[in-house]
Every structure is written in C-alpha cells, then in structure tokens.
Amino acid sequence: MSKFHCGFVALVGRPNVGKSTILNRLVGQKVSITSRRPQTTRHRILGIKTDAQGQIVFVDTPGLHQAQPRAMNRYLNRAAMDSLRDVDVVVFIVEGTRWQKDDDWVLEKLKRVSCPVILAINKIDRVADKTELLPHLQALSAKREFSDLIPVCAKNGDHLDQLETALRKYLPESPPFYGEDQVTDRSERFLAAELVREKLFRKLGEEVPYGLTVEIERFKAEKNSLHIHALIWVEKNSHKPMVIGSKGERLKEVGREAREDMEKTFGRKVFLQLWVKVKEGWADDERALRSLGYNED
C-alpha cells in the first residue's frame, strides 16, 4: 500500500505574477480572488488538494514588495513572510522573462528559508521569442540553487502537473491535516467579502482599489438561501461616486456579478445588498486595519 504524504507549500513572489491563479488551478476550484491589479491578495489563504496519494496544503500569500509607505503595505509583507514559517516547500513564482527589483528582494528574503525552493516561471505564453527562454532559465538558475525550475502557464494550465509532481517529492509522510472535502481554511463569510472586492478591483481605475475594502455586516443562512449585507469602505469621499457609478450602475453590476459567483461557490440562492461608506485613512491606520479583519494570520 502506498504511503500517504501531506505538507504545506507556500506560493510566494512579487505582486501580480499569478500566485492566486496557480493556486486555483492546482486546487481545481476558485479559493483565491484574482485581478490584473497588483496586491489583489491581501490575506494568507489556504487551498487544500486531497487525493489518494496525499494532501497538499497550498498557502497563497500577498505579493512581496519593497515599497512600504503605508500600514497596509507593511501588513501585506508581514502576512507573506509569516507564511514561510514551517512550510515543507516554497514555490517562488516569477513572470516570464521579466525580472524586476522586487524579484531580487524576494530572492533575498528566501535566503532564510531552509526547505526546498522550486522556481516556477509563469506566463510563458507571453514570451514572444521562445529562444529567449533557455538563456533566461540558465541566468535564473545561477541566482540560487533551486530544487527545480519549471516554466508554466497558469492561464492555460500548461505544465502545472509537472509543478505538482515536483513539489510532491518533498512532502513528508503524514496523515491529512484537513477533511478530504475541505478546499480552504476560510469561511463563507470571508469568501463573500473577497468576491465583492474582486469585482470592484476588476472594474475600478488605478487609484480606488487600494483604498477600499469590504466588510460583511450580515451573513444569514435561511433554508436554501443566504442573505448577505456587505459594506464597501473607501478612504476618500471622492471615491464613493466612482464605486457607485452613474445612476448606481457600477454598484449594481458589481453586486450582480458577485452574487452569481457566490451562488456558484456556495451552491445556493444568494440575496446580496451593498452599501458604500467612507472611513478616511483606514489603510494607513493599524487599529482600523485590525477592526476590518486585517489581523496577523
């Protein structure tokens, strides 16, 4: 009888390299929200994959970045760094042939990690000249002794099976930590707030998303339905009309799309109501961050 292996795998990298998309692909369903905006992921989120061979507990992390002008940025970096503790494998994710200063910064932080580090080069579909890829991989392999180097495309799912096979080699023999049907450690209430925030991030301009957050004020289950009231907090009065949109159209659109996603995720009818309120400077206020759920995980 084959032995069961179970362990924790941290997905790390600078913002916007595709960590959450890779997590969702590997787990086989959406547990972490995605958008084209850097710093979409704000919390440590577990994605759990269980099969006959074992259980992989993926730890999705906020993007590591050097600039820390505000309390929110400092929180994101702390959450990401804390996720590197006590994991069995780290997957360091970079973007195609684009190596940036923040990649060097992450690499420097990984020097304190003693477990195996796999380098995953994501978005290889965007590398127009494929002859550039091999020299780039050789240059990357010189930066550190990686356990494996694996080019992948999270968008299409290409080579993610190779990544999974590689990381399974490093998982210890262990019984499962979570039930076989569990796919995340987060509650439905948390996921509801994240789905609303995802739709806002995808629809708003450059400035607004980083100054908004979503708080679930009411989450009530009734037979086959959920009744959810969500508050959208923005930092400035000028942001409120941007979120609401002309004649409330943007807010209606966000609500409709978030509700549809919730119904798919939770498997029941959802009644969703949204309100927009202003809490000035919340993203640079440690106390406000904690009150809005940005606690050390």
Mean per-residue pLDDT, 23-52: 90
Looking at residue 107, what is its pLDDT?
A: 93
H or E element in which residue 166 lies: helix 160-168
What is the mean pLDDT of the segment spanning 147-163?
Answer: 94
pLDDT at 262: 96
* Span 181-203, pLDDT tens digits: 999 999 999 999 999 999 999 99
Within 8 A by CB and 6+ apart from 78, the residues are 296
* C-alpha to C-alpha distance for 255 and 196, rounded to whole angstroms: 7
Answer yes or no: is pLDDT of 66 > 90: no
- All structural domains of the chain, each given as residue ranges with its CATH number in brackets, are 5-168 (3.40.50.300), 188-291 (3.30.300.20)
| pLDDT tens, position by position, 81-94 | 888 888 999 999 99
What pLDDT, on the 0 to 100 scale, is given for residue 296? 56
Condensed to tens digits (0 to 9), the pLDDT of residues 98-134 reads 999 999 999 999 998 999 999 999 999 988 888 888 8
Residue 42, pLDDT score: 85
Report strand pairing: 117-122 vs 148-151: parallel
Residue keyed to tokens 């099976």: 161
Dihedral over alpha carbons 155, 161, 162, 168 (to 10 degrees): 130
CB of 191 within 8 A of CB of 216?
A: no
Evaluate if residue 164 carries a pLDDT over 60: yes
pLDDT confidence of residue 68: 67
Report the pLDDT averaged over residues 21-46.
Answer: 89
